[in-house]
C-alpha cells in the first residue's frame, strides 16, 4: 500500500465500462478487474461499483461477486462499497431513465436486507424514490445500518423530499438528471434539492448531462462543500463511437462521446471517467484547484466516512497533477 497522499479521484457511481455491465449475470471477477484497471489508469483511485434495477437472480450473482472482489488483494483498495441504484425507484417515464421497469419494486427493508446479506454488508449507498410506498421506513432502516440513503430517479413533491431528509437521506443521485425532460417550472424535483442544505448533490459534469449554466447555479446553491462530481460511467465507457446495446436498449456513441438512445434520443449514461468530468468542470473556471480536489476527492471520501488525509489505495496508482487549469496524468512518484 502506498503511504503517499493520493492524487486522484473517487467516483461514487460507476456502472461498468469497456462493454462490461456491473448489472449482468455474465459478470466475472476478471471483468471487474478489467474495469478497475481502466479506471485506475485514468486517475480514479477508488470507486463504488453501481448495480442498477435488475432481476433478483442477477443480484444474487453480482452482489456476492463484488463481496468477493472486495477481498481480492488487487481490487480491494479500489472498491469502496456497492452503490445500489434501485430497484426501489419510480417506474414513471422520465424518472425511471434506462432502468428496466419490470424489475422496479416498492421499497422494503426485508428485501434490502436480503440484498445486503448477499453483498456481505458491502452496500454503502442506496438510491431510491422517496415518494414510493415504504420509502421512509427503508431510509430509516438503511441509515441505522450506516448506509447512505440517496434520493434519485423520482418524482417526489417538496414535502416528500423533506420527509426523506428528516428520515435520514443525505444525498441526491445525479441531480439534474434522472427526471422527465419536461417539468413544471416551479413544482419539480430540482429546486428543493438544490436549496436543501442537508443534501449533498452528485453531479455528472461530463459536458453532456448538464449545461454549464446549471452547473454554475448548482455550485452557488450547494457550495463546494455539498457538491460531488461523478462520472456515472456507462457499461459502454471506454468504447469508440458507434452503435451498441446497453441495458437492453440500442444506443449510439457519437464522436464527442455522448451516449444516446437511438429511439428517444435521450441520454443513456456517460462515456466519461472522472478525469474527463473534472477537466470539463475545471474548464468552466468556477472553482479553484483546492475546490476541485474537494468536489472530486475529499467530499466523496467524507460522505462514506473516510478520512481524506489518511486515504490509502494501491501502490501502482497514477499520479494526477493540476497544471495550467487542467488535470493531467503523471507517472506515480
What the chain holds in terms of domains, given with CATH numbers, is 9-330 (3.20.20.140)
Residue 160 CB partners (closer than 8 Å, separation 6+): 130, 131
Residue 17, pLDDT > 80, answer: yes
The residue-averaged pLDDT of 258-286 equals 90
Distance, in Å, from the CA atom of 28 to the CA atom of 120, rounded to the nearest integer, reads 17
User: How buried is residue 138: exposed, middle or buried, by Cβ count under 10 Å (0-12/13-18/19+)?
Assistant: buried
Distance, in Å, from the CA atom of 200 to the CA atom of 11, rounded to the nearest integer, reads 14
Q: 65-113, pLDDT tens digit by residue?
A: 999 999 999 999 999 999 999 999 999 988 888 898 999 999 999 999 9
Measured in residues, the chain has a length of 333
Task: Specify the pLDDT at position 70.
Answer: 97
Q: 179-200, pLDDT tens digit by residue?
A: 877 777 888 889 999 999 999 9
Task: Specify the pLDDT at position 247.
Answer: 79
Task: Specify the pLDDT at position 4.
Answer: 46
What's the pLDDT band for 331 if we cut at 50, 70, 90? low
Higher pLDDT, 312 or 221: 221
Angle of CA points 84, 327, 295, to nearest 5°: 45
Half-sphere exposure of 256 (CA within 13 A, CB side): 7
Distance, in Å, from the CA atom of 84 to the CA atom of 13, rounded to the nearest integer, reads 9
Distance, in Å, from the CA atom of 58 to the CA atom of 65, rounded to the nearest integer, reads 11
The residue-averaged pLDDT of 143-168 equals 97
Distance, in Å, from the CA atom of 133 to the CA atom of 70, rounded to the nearest integer, reads 33
27, 55 in Cβ contact below 8 A? no
| Distance between first and last Cα of the chain | 13
Task: Specify the pLDDT at position 278.
Answer: 98
The three cell numbers of residue 22 are 456491473
According to DSSP, the residues that pair with 327 across neighbouring strands are 322
The residue-averaged pLDDT of 163-168 equals 98
Task: Specify the pLDDT at position 266.
Answer: 73
Say how many C-beta atoms besides its own lie within 10 A of residue 30's C-beta.
Answer: 8
Distance, in Å, from the CA atom of 262 to the CA atom of 254, rounded to the nearest integer, reads 11
Task: Specify the pLDDT at position 56.
Answer: 96
The pTM for the full model equals 0.95
Strand residue runs (E) in 214-296 = 227-230, 242-246, 249-253, 258-261, 267-270
Task: Specify the pLDDT at position 1.
Answer: 36
Give me the percent of the chain exceeding a pLDDT of 70: 95
Distance, in Å, from the CA atom of 255 to the CA atom of 237, rounded to the nearest integer, reads 13
Residue 318, pLDDT > 70, answer: no
Amino acid at each position: 500500500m502506498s503511504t503517499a497522499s493520493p492524487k486522484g479521484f473517487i467516483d461514487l457511481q460507476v456502472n461498468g465500462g469497456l462493454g462490461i455491465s456491473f448489472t449482468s449475470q455474465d459478470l466475472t471477477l476478471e471483468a471487474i478487474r478489467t474495469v478497475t484497471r481502466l479506471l485506475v489508469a485514468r486517475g480514479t483511485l477508488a470507486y463504488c461499483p453501481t448495480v442498477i434495477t435488475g432481476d433478483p437472480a442477477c443480484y444474487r450473482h453480482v452482489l456476492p461477486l463484488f463481496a468477493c472482489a472486495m477481498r481480492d488483494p488487487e481490487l480491494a483498495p479500489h472498491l469502496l462499497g456497492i452503490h445500489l441504484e434501485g430497484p426501489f425507484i419510480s417506474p414513471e417515464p422520465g424518472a425511471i431513465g434506462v432502468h428496466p421497469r419490470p424489475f422496479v419494486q416498492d421499497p422494503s427493508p426485508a428485501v434490502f436486507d436480503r440484498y445486503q446479506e448477499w453483498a456481505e454488508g458491502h452496500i454503502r449507498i442506496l438510491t431510491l424514490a422517496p415518494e414510493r410506498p415504504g420509502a421512509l421506513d427503508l431510509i430509516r432502516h438503511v441509515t441505522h445500518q450506516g448506509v447512505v440513503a440517496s434520493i434519485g430517479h423520482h418524482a417526489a413533491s417538496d414535502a416528500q423530499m423533506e420527509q426523506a431528509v428528516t428520515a435520514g437521506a443525505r444525498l441526491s443521485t445525479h441531480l439534474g438528471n434522472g427526471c422527465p425532460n419536461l417539468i413544471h417550472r416551479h413544482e419539480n424535483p430540482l429546486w428543493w434539492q438544490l436549496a436543501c442544505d442537508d443534501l449533498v448533490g452528485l453531479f455528472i459534469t461530463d459536458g453532456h448531462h448538464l449545461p454549464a449554466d446549471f452547473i454554475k447555479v448548482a455550485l452557488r446553491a450547494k457550495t463546494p462543500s455539498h457538491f460531488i462530481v461523478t462520472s456515472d460511467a456507462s457499461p459502454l465507457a471506454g468504447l469508440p463511437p458507434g452503435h451498441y446495446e446497453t441495458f437492453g436498449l440500442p444506443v449510439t456513441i457519437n464522436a464527442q462521446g455522448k451516449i444516446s438512445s437511438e429511439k428517444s434520443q435521450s441520454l443513456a449514461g456517460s462515456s466519461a471517467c472522472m478525469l474527463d468530468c473534472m477537466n470539463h468542470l475545471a474548464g468552466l473556471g468556477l472553482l479553484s484547484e483546492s475546490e476541485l480536489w474537494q468536489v472530486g476527492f475529499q467530499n466523496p471520501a467524507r460522505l462514506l466516512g473516510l478520512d481524506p488525509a489518511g486515504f490509502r489505495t494501491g501502490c501502482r496508482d497514477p499520479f494526477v497533477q493540476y497544471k495550467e487549469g487542467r488535470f493531467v496524468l503523471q507517472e506515480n512518484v
